[in-house]
Structure 1
Amino acid sequence: MTQLTQTGIASLQLCFYGAGSMAEAIARGLINEKLLAAGQISMLNRHNQERLTELHTQYGVQTILQGSSNDAYIQQADIIFLAMKPKDAAEAVKAIKPLVSANQLVISVIAGLSIASIEQLLGASVPIVRAMPNTSSTIGLGATGISYSDRVTAQQRQLTEAIFQSVGITATVEEPLQSAITGVSGSGPAYVYYFMEAMMQAAGELGLEPGAAKELVVQTVLGAAQMVRETGEEPAELRRKVTSPNGTTQAAIEMMAEFRLTETIIKGMRRSAERAGELGAAIERSINE
């Protein structure tokens, strides 16, 4: 990151409209990486004051409980993150249209919500970024797919990439591929957790204590991912190297194949991508009702 970009971000006001887990992950990553001060980040939600208290206490971000209003935070922000639930998106985004101006940058992390829909809700003059990060952004290991509207400037692209690169890696994609990003990396951590749950359950059934089972599974998954990264080898090749003919690993892989694990994973990821499209279609319908 250049000094110019660092200075640019450090002077900005960021507002998260929506205070759920994704907004928290990004805000926490930005604060942990010292990209800007916590006091320059505001987080808003509709009614949950307990959640706002939690976020202010834990991170030092600003909320309505510190004396300002949601409207003021939105108007004063240089970058507005749309981070509400998809079912609330159309109504919520439409409500802030009078508060948003063309010199602000709007970044949406709402699954399925298209740039065209946001332009319809806010006006076509507003520069819009559509991003799909994942919750591993919380620890600086996120993966984010980013798409830009035509009105996003080169400097705003640089700022956007600096923000998301501070919490992981980024990939710039054409907007039609955002559903694929959702299916692969947006929802991806949950697939790994689900697999880990199954491994831990099996470990318990094999007689291991829960604590030991968790430690062994976590280290096994961490080590396997790091092997792929550090060796540069394909997962299929690494798998072949540890699968001895007629050995224990082959017995396990054959059982998993018999129950169509690969096919199930592929179908699940496709379904996630499809669901992102369905959410977007539902939002578009609600806009036009």
Structure 2
Amino acid sequence: MLANKTIAFLGAGSMAESMISGVISAEKISPDRVFVTNRSNADRLEEIQHKYGVSAMPQNELPIKQIDLFILAMKPKGAEEALHSIKDKLNPGQVILSVLAGITTEFMEDHLNPGQQVVRVMPNTSSMIQESATAVVAGKHTSMANVELVKELLECMGEVYIIDEDQMDVFTGLAGSGPAYFYYLMENMERVGVQKGMDEETVRKIVAQTIFGAAKMVLEKEEAPTSLREKVTSPNGTTASGLEALRKYNGGEAITQAVEHAAKRSKEISKELEGALVTS
């Protein structure tokens, strides 16, 4: 149970703050059981401590033996150094969780002592409003009890999905990069509305509500998007005409390629990053 655990964030950037905000707001854990540290920015630590009531301190003052769950939340290039700094102070029951892009469970296991429990997670930017779609990948030594613990923590930021490591790249293409695809769609819909004389603020709200409503229909009705699309598409109607234009201009293929390209780039970044860390 998360309430009985202690958590330490190694890094105090925006993702760490999103997670701290979520877990404190959800009252899943007492602020005095949450620690946060970074390499050198004392002002940032003071800001986080004042804002959330957590314990902020330099890394060399962190009570490592008391921590149940360590969260790597620095820049990816700092991962190797962070792992080495705590490696020989850990016991096998402690869990290392990474929210760093490109850092695999295998990489973490290779830089820690044999048998150490690790978890890789990927939230998306909607974690800022507790509406993230977050992926969880467990390391080969991680117990199911600790996977459930991590899931409980991440549910403070939105919905959580347990996947395999080889699915992380496509998850990145779908959910990690996904919000940007919808923002791009909204940009273009908004532009048409403004060009046709609508107020920019009003049309933005209309477009956002339309996308929100469509997403909520999928989640609450538990029907496939294809089924919902067919139900609202009358023959020869306005929706059919709009969809025909999407087909004519390869809208579906554009979406497919966006996901494919993002997934491919995710795989490339992992290889590039691991190669750079190994040779540095």
Normalised-by-shorter TM-score class = 0.7 to 0.9
2:180 paired residue number:
190
Q: Percent identity?
A: 35
The question of whether the paired residues in 1 share the 8 Å contact of 2:88 and 2:113 is answered with no
2:35 paired residue number:
42
Q: How does 1:75-114 map to 2 (within 5 A)?
A: 75=64, 76-114=66-104
Relative to the length of structure 1, the TM-score reads 0.85
Q: 1:143 to 1:51 in 2, by over 3 A?
A: same
Q: 1:100 to 1:193 in 2, by over 3 A?
A: farther
Tell me, yes or no, if structure 1 residue 29 matches structure 2 residue 22: yes
2:5 paired residue number:
12
2:250 paired residue number:
260
Tell me, yes or no, if structure 1 residue 274 matches structure 2 residue 264: yes
The question of whether the paired residues in 2 share the 8 Å contact of 1:134 and 1:143 is answered with yes
- Residues of 1 paired with 2:43 and 2:262: CA distance? 31
What amino acid maps onto 2:190 in structure 1?
M
1:162 paired residue number:
152
The question of whether the paired residues in 1 share the 8 Å contact of 2:99 and 2:122 is answered with yes
The question of whether the paired residues in 2 share the 8 Å contact of 1:15 and 1:74 is answered with no
The question of whether the paired residues in 2 share the 8 Å contact of 1:74 and 1:99 is answered with no
Q: Structure 1 residue aligned with 2:232, among 229, 242, 259? A: 242
Q: 1:244 to 1:154 in 2, by over 3 A?
A: closer
Q: 1:245 to 1:49 in 2, by over 3 A?
A: farther
Tell me, yes or no, if structure 1 residue 226 matches structure 2 residue 219: no
How many residues align? The count is: 278
1:70 paired residue number:
59
- Residues of 1 paired with 2:21 and 2:70: CA distance? 16
Instruction: State the 1:58 CA deviation.
Output: 3.4
Secondary structure of 1:146's counterpart equals strand
Tell me, yes or no, if structure 1 residue 150 matches structure 2 residue 140: yes
2:106 paired residue number:
116
- Residues of 2 paired with 1:205 and 1:270: CA distance? 32
Secondary structure of 2:236's counterpart equals coil
- Residues of 2 paired with 1:188 and 1:19: CA distance? 25
Q: 1:41 to 1:237 in 2, by over 3 A?
A: same
Instruction: State the 1:256 CA deviation.
Output: 2.6
Identify unmatched segments of 5+ residues in structure 1. none
Q: 1:187 to 1:22 in 2, by over 3 A?
A: farther
Q: 1:96 to 1:261 in 2, by over 3 A?
A: farther
What amino acid maps onto 2:28 in structure 1?
L
Instruction: State the 1:223 CA deviation.
Output: 0.9
- Residues of 1 paired with 2:49 and 2:196: CA distance? 44
- Residues of 2 paired with 1:177 and 1:80: CA distance? 24
RMSD: 2.3
Instruction: State the 1:105 CA deviation.
Output: 0.7
Q: 1:266 to 1:233 in 2, by over 3 A?
A: same
Q: 1:116 to 1:58 in 2, by over 3 A?
A: same
- Residues of 2 paired with 1:38 and 1:205: CA distance? 50
Q: 1:202 to 1:96 in 2, by over 3 A?
A: farther
2:116 paired residue number:
126
Q: 1:52 to 1:195 in 2, by over 3 A?
A: farther
Deviates further, 96-105 or 234-243: 96-105
- Residues of 2 paired with 1:258 and 1:18: CA distance? 48
Q: Structure 2 residue aligned with 1:213, among 198, 203, 206? A: 203
The question of whether the paired residues in 2 share the 8 Å contact of 1:90 and 1:283 is answered with no
Relative to the length of structure 2, the TM-score reads 0.88
Deviates further, 248-257 or 273-282: 248-257
Instruction: State the 1:106 CA deviation.
Output: 0.4
Q: Structure 2 residue aligned with 1:202, among 172, 186, 192? A: 192
Instruction: State the 1:50 CA deviation.
Output: 5.0
Q: Per-residue displacement from partner, 1:12-62 (whole Å, max 9, x unpaired)? A: 221122233332222222111110123322333344455444433433333
2:128 paired residue number:
138
Q: Per-residue displacement from partner, 1:153-211 (whole Å, max 9, x unpaired)? A: 23312211221233332222222112222222222222222322222222222222122
